[in-house]
């Protein structure tokens, strides 16, 4: 199996195909490794070039590269699923907002009639201490 990365001391260069991995997925995957590494992204005609340098010598660069490839696959799948379900999500959100935001003329008339039918209350009737109103005053 051909390796698509090279390691020199605490530095690695990873070559990724633009056809397989969208740049947004690469960036999201790399964001998980920013605590332990320094990262640079570049590209050429058909490859995305990722350069990773360890912040400390204690970490295993091979292990980080393996974890990066796993995370890259996860992010690529999430990205593809988001693209595939975009229209469905837009439909669901649009439908939910449509039914809550639009007042039909019927609803306006019903609301107007409801306001007329309601009794008016004074502040003195509403702002009463519950204990004073409902406890036994003889005590």
3-state secondary structure 61-118: HHHHHHHHHHHHHHHHHHHHHHHHCHHHHHHHHHHHHHHHHCCCHHHHHHHHHHHHHC
Q: Which residue in 71, 63, 77, 81 sits closest to 32, CA to CA?
A: 71
**% of the chain surpassing 70 pLDDT:** 79
Residue 139 has pLDDT above 70, yes or no: no
Q: Closest Cα partner for 4 from 65, 87, 58?
A: 65
**Do 11 and 71 reside in the same domain of the chain?**
yes
100 located within any domain: yes
Number of domains the chain is built from = 2
Task: Kindly state whether residue 137 falls inside one of the protein's structural domains.
Answer: no
- How far apart are alpha carbons 86 and 72 in whole angstroms? 21
Q: Is the same domain home to 70 and 103?
A: no
Question: How many C-beta atoms lie closer than 10 Å to residue 41's C-beta?
Answer: 14
132, part of any domain: no
Residue 56 confidence class, pLDDT cut points 50, 70, 90: confident
The answer to whether residues 78 and 91 belong to one domain is no
Better pLDDT: 75 or 119: 75
**In the chain, what's the furthest Cα-to-Cα distance?**
93
**Encoded tokens for 43:** 């590209």
CATH no. for residue 61?
Answer: 3.30.70.60
Does 22 reside within a domain? yes
24 and 51 in a single domain? The answer is: yes
Residue 113 is part of which domain span? Answer: 85-118
- Looking at residue 96, what is its pLDDT? 81
């Amino acid at each position: 199996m051909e390796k698509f990365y090279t390691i020199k001391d605490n530095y690695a260069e990873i070559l990724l195909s633009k056809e397989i991995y969208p740049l947004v997925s690469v960036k999201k995957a790399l964001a998980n490794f920013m605590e332990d590494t320094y990262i640079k992204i570049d590209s050429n005609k058909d490859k995305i070039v990722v350069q990773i340098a360890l912040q400390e010598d204690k970490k295993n660069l091979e292990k980080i590269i393996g974890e990066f490839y796993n995370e890259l696959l996860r992010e690529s799948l999430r990205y593809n699923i988001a693209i595939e379900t975009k229209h469905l999500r837009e439909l669901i959100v649009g439908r939910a907002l449509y039914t809550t935001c639009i007042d039909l003329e019927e609803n306006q008339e019903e609301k107007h009639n409801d306001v007329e039918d309601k009794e008016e209350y004074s502040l003195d009737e509403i702002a009463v201490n519950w204990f004073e109103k409902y406890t036994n005053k003889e005590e």
